[in-house]
Structure 1
Amino acid sequence: MQVKSYIKGEWIDRGESKDLISAVTGGPVAQMLEADLDYKGACKYARQKAGPELRKMSIHERAFKIKFLAQHLLERKEDYYELSTHTGATRQDSWIDIEGGIGSMFTLSSKSRIELSDLPYHVEGGHERLSREGTFVGQHICVPRQGVAVHINAFNFPVWGMLEKMAPCIISGMPAIIKPSPTGSYLAYKVFKDMLESNLLPEGAIQFIAADVPGDLLDHLNSQDSVSFTGSATTGQKLKSHPNIVANNVRFNLEADSLNCSILGGDVTPDMEEFDLFIKEVANEMTVKSGQKCTAIRRTIVPKERVNDVVEALKNRLQKTTVGDPGQKETRMGPLASATQVERFEQQVSSLLETTESVYSNGNGQHNGAFTNPKVLLCHRPLEVDNIHKVEAFGPMTTVMPYESNEEAIELANKADGSLVGSLFTANDDIAREVTLGCAPYHGRFMVVNRDCADESTGHGSPMPHMVHGGPGHAGGGQELGGARAVIHNMQRVALQGSPTTLTNITNQYIKGAETKEAETHPFQQYFEDLEVGEARTTDTHTVTEEDIERFADLSGDEFYAHTDPEAAERSLFGEIVAHGYFVLSRAAGLFVHPDEGPVILNYGLENLRFTNPVAPGDTIQAKLIVKRKTVRQKKAKDKFPFGIVYWDVEVTNQDDVLVAEYTILTLIKRREVLDMDIFEGNED
């Protein structure tokens, strides 16, 4: 296999060939063709060719592209598993990288379609009233940036690292230039090539750099561009301080390896489930991906009286870890990614041994080539030693550190000055609260495990696409993933100000106070495509009677005194009998719902309900139904017809035009058109 660059719409077939070495056999598995590339042209191509095409689509259309791309890759996963073995990964290791990356695409696509606007941009949150009469308002929107995103990925997760960055970037409307680490780049290349051949993305949306160092790429970035880097803190800080990055304020997201910790709670004894769970987690984080994870547990913080118990339990578990060919079923841990990584790992362990003692370094398997063995170190005075909180040996190792109090455990956990993830194993929720809140400022993620959640826990070292991934200080201060947040990270937030009508026209989402247009045809008799944002239906009126209130109390069983007891109601906040809020809600529905069969399928939900003023017998209510926003839903095989979701703003007022209730109703409404996305069927992610 030749690993080549793909820029400006073509594969680059020239350059110097370099062998890419299998971590298992020590022989070449592929050749990387490193060329002198036109990085300035690549950036320009992405901005001018792909950028406008992506920005024409809505966020949901772009998200569907990512979903279909994930389906495309999933069908080819066995090809990736076969190749992944050469990176030193076992089947389980490869599952985290390959299906973890593809699964992230599914999740990010789904969360984006659920939480973000079905527009080229996202209308974020509600509007802000900036004036007394409400004629001047504010609204935040997040728009696509008109640049290119450069993704510089680490060697340890060739697939996941590429896909978890690329997916939200494309959904945001921004093309990407992907630069993997040469180590394992043959796997990233294979996945990239399949993405390109799917023809699902516009030309220029993704480009690929096969190189050790990305030349003068950073020199050609501007303020609309961004860089996301995963790797060592030293390299990340060097790139982040690049003169052009600084001069143009180019967005730079740094996710650096960190000395993550796991804490055994002071309440846990060896006979408790939490103790076994802790030992299992520490050992797993040492051996999964051979400890080559930015989230691995480097510091094992345990009560002083439990040190011997923990060390012995880790020894017993690690003795059962078979090190060898990752292609063999019995193998639990493969080699490091390269001989270079082994050399670095041994150097880092040697540095740590200057202030610690080795309590376990035996192995059960191969010892040559890129293979190494799990190692457990012990530091007796961790508060007095700095290098155990600064030097990271990137491989299968951890350092055990004793503590004497919760305060000391927190101090040790935070001593690394920022990590991607910390974890705590305890059955005591008071300890959980104290330690978690004490550690939270220094950790990007904090996992608390006990027997109640252990069976379904995804583990200390697994960044989930629903949750943010990143950490402060030494961990880089960056942030990735986090569901729809991952998309917003790549966009530009703009604070709009103006009249409600003007901002409604700009955003294509109704803002309260904007002018509306009365529908000539009842909205419930119109198809999805026919409904326009701002279109309204003002209903007839209804005068509320005491009989209405009595009948509703009888029907609902809600006999709260304010609705049924005149004497008690007189002493209440209202001073008289008032109608149930849910009567007002129900009667308003009766006013605006059209009884005849039509495109409306069903009521899908209700959001942001507020009862703003009481309704008493004799008050006359009226409702106004306004099209707030629309979202297309993909037609599934089980659906009889295609449809979309319409969000209706409902305002209920009384005879004095005073607002008594407001809320948003969601309805499913038939579409006339079958769209391209409807032809892709499969299980909903």
Structure 2
Amino acid sequence: MSVFLRNYLGGQWQPESRTAHALVNPVSGEALAFAGGPAENLAAAYEFARNAGGSALRAMSYGQRAAILADVMKVLQANRDTYYDISIANSGTTKADSAVDIEGALYTLGYYAKLGATLGDVHTLGDGTSTVLSKDGLFQSQHVYAPVRGLALFINAFNFPAWGLWEKAAPALLSGVPVVIKPATVTAWLTHRMVEDVVNAGVLPPGALSIVCGSSAGLLDPLQPFDVLSFTGSADTAAKIRSHDAVTRHSVRVNIEADSVNSALLGPDAVPGSEAFDLYVKELVREMTTKSGQRCTAIRRALVPAAQFDAVAEAVAAKLSGITVGNPRNDTVRMGSLVSREQYDAVHTGIEKLAGEAQLLVDGRNSALVDADPALAACVAPTLLGLRDGASGTTVHEHEVFGPVSTLIGYRDADEAVALAHRGQGSLVASIFSADHAWLARAGAELAGSHGRVNLVSPDVGKTQTGHGNVMPQSIHGGPGRAGGGEELGGLRSLGFYHRRSALQASATTLDALGPLGSL
């Protein structure tokens, strides 16, 4: 029997829609589940979330809400085997790549549960100490953070149906803000199942967690001034969101994560045979192949000294030759499929576009597949392009191909390497591999202004560094410019998006009556 992903709004499951969109196995083309058309009674459902869910959450202390996050994590842990089955079937990922999504979600939830517990039994967060406003010192000003008195609407991308939900929902719920999630329909099954399990477990108050799995039509229309909106996806859709009345008229706060042409720099000192060189090659191959390159943080531009261009190309090609692609249920397969044939077509089109400017060094478009029909499967083997003179390129610095595709780009000197990284016009992440600590620090500081995160890898941290593409909840995730200008995670910093800062001006005695204040 096929699964129908019903919307959960207003504290209840809505009926199956007459309009159905099939979610398929991207390897076999088999229909797995169905999602419906537009959600019903959105305005009333949003009011229920604000009033019932928001009131119940705000009545709790930060420590109590942290305990709820721990309960949510326990529910998800108890069902993790089912999540792996859904991920492998619907996203076409191997078990190892499914873990990036599922275990990443669990780790992030656990992290915020523990971090929230450190805030203890407080209901108000302070921002700094009080400031004297009167000559006698009695009338003072204390800045505080108050949870927004609305809901948080999350519109997510297809590549992380598990982590994409919980990396946003964990800090929102910890802040006392109810959540409405709209996952990308093509891989919504995993998100839906997680929400269903949490709802059935009854660990969250009614209205705290809702989901829309079908059409996004009218999704933004009922938003009100105290709501917040977080979007992960294309820059084109982000532009439409920013121009919506909810944003322009109601000043709904928006967080955007859009396209990103991330780069990885090989330092001038990293010659073949050096540890930094080997670490760089290993990282590039990992980023090209993990989740079939479908990560917003993946390396799209591999910047290397012109003198080492051929050596890097040969080393990467040798490693890529050992990557088997095909059906993720086959134990010999190292890399599964893209999420859909539509994405398959987009990647092929993108490769052609890059090939108009760069040379194809490893062409994976027609590689043999393991246990998969190339006429049906959305599989593309890793593809490496090359441009020896990086400064001469334009497309390679501006166009992102969301798949197992990267372009090797040569640079003349260290200054040009940094300049080429900046040509991404704002990225989520850049990484630099070198044994020269002084240059790493200098280059990292120069790249910080155009990147949300800079991963500096020297041989002494080669085994312990968390990876170019891995988003850790302790560090912020987001980036300026074309990357969307947004910011998520970063420990307690993420709570700032779900709070409003206000100045309480009063007698020092009145301010003392607030009781102990937590701190971001």
From 501, 511, 518, give the equivalent of 2:509.
Answer: 501
Mapped contact 1:179–1:209 kept (Cα < 8 A): yes
1:410-461 Cα deviation digits (max 9, x unpaired): 1100101100000000000121022111111000000011221121111000
- Structure 1: which 5+ runs fail to align? 510-628, 632-685
> Is residue 187 of structure 1 aligned with residue 195 of structure 2?
no
Equivalent position to 1:108, from 105, 112, 116: 112
**Of the candidates 425, 432, 449, which is equivalent to residue 433 of structure 2?**
425
**Matching residue of 2:101:** 97
SS at the partner of 1:218?
Answer: coil
The one-letter amino acid of 2:205's match is P
2:342 matches 1:335: no
CA distance in 2, matches of 1:75, 1:453: 34
Instruction: Give the counterpart of 1:248 among 247, 250, 260.
Output: 250
Question: 1:78 maps to which residue?
Answer: 81
Letter aligned with residue 40 of structure 1: A
Return the alpha-carbon distance in structure 1 between the equivalents of residues 224 and 518 of structure 2: 35
| Identical aligned residues as a percent | 36
Q: Residue 469 of structure 2 aligns with which residue? A: 461
3-state SS, counterpart of residue 321 of structure 1: coil
How does the TM-score come out when normalised to structure 2?
A: 0.95
Q: How many pairs are equivalent? A: 509
**SS at structure 1 position matched to 2:231:** strand
1:146-157 map, 5 Å: 146-157=149-160
The residue number in structure 2 matching 1:9 is 11
Counterpart amino acid of residue 167 in structure 1:
A
1:12-161 aligned at under 5 Å gives the runs 12-15=14-17, 16-86=19-89, 87-114=91-118, 116=119, 118-131=121-134, 133-161=136-164
Shift of 1:234: 1.4
CA distance in 1, matches of 2:70, 2:132: 37
Structure ID, larger Rg: 1
157-166 or 1-10: which moved more? 1-10
C-alpha displacement of 1:504: 1.2
Rounded to whole Å, the distance in 2 between the matches of 1:286 and 1:160 is 20
Residue 43 of structure 1, CA deviation: 1.1
Change (3 A) 1:432 1:36: closer
In 2, Cα distance between equivalents of 1:335 and 1:14: 29
- The CA deviation string for residues 567-606 of structure 1, in whole angstroms up to 9 with x for no partner, is xxxxxxxxxxxxxxxxxxxxxxxxxxxxxxxxxxxxxxxx
1:397 is matched with 405
* 1:312-461 equivalences in 2 (<5 Å): 312-362=314-364, 363=367, 365-366=369-370, 367-368=374-375, 369-461=377-469
Mapped partners of 1:273, 1:130: distance in 2:
59
- The 8 Å contact of residues 231 and 255 in structure 1, kept in 2 or not, is answered as yes
Please say if residues 386 and 409 of structure 2, whose CA atoms lie closer than 8 Å, have aligned partners that are also in contact: yes
Deviation at 1:198, TM superposition (A): 1.3
- 1:224 aligned to 2:226? yes
Letter in 1 for 2:60: M
Give, in whole Å, the separation in 2 of the partners of 1:259 and 1:630.
Answer: 38
Pairs within 5 Å for 1:262-273: 262-273=264-275
Q: Is the 8 A contact 2:429 2:468 kept in 1?
A: yes
Query: Where does residue 495 of structure 2 map in the other structure?
Result: 487
Structure 2 spans left out of the alignment, 5+ residues: none
* Superposed CA offset, 1:630-666 (max 9, x none): 99xxxxxxxxxxxxxxxxxxxxxxxxxxxxxxxxxxx
Contact 2:306 2:388 in 1 (8 A): no
Cα deviation for residue 407 of structure 1 reads 1.0
Asked if 2 retains the 8 angstrom alpha-carbon contact of 1:13 and 1:33, the reply is: no
Give the direction of change, closer, same or farther, for the CA distance of 1:130–1:184 in structure 2 (3 Å limit). same
Runs of 4+ in 1 over 6 A off after TM superposition: none
Give, in angstroms, the shift of residue 35 of structure 1.
4.3
Q: Is the 8 A contact 2:155 2:232 kept in 1?
A: yes
Give the Cα separation in 2 of the matches to 1:54 and 1:31: 32
What SS does the aligned partner of 1:267 have? coil
Shift of 1:304: 0.7
CA distance in 2, matches of 1:313, 1:131: 69
Q: TM-score, normalised by structure 1?
A: 0.73
Relative contact order, higher structure (CA 8 A, sep 6+):
2
How far residue 488 of structure 1 moved from its aligned partner, in angstroms, is: 2.3
- Paired with 1:83 and 1:211, the residues of 2 have a C-alpha distance of 18
> What is the CA-CA distance between 1:134 and the residue it aligns to?
3.0
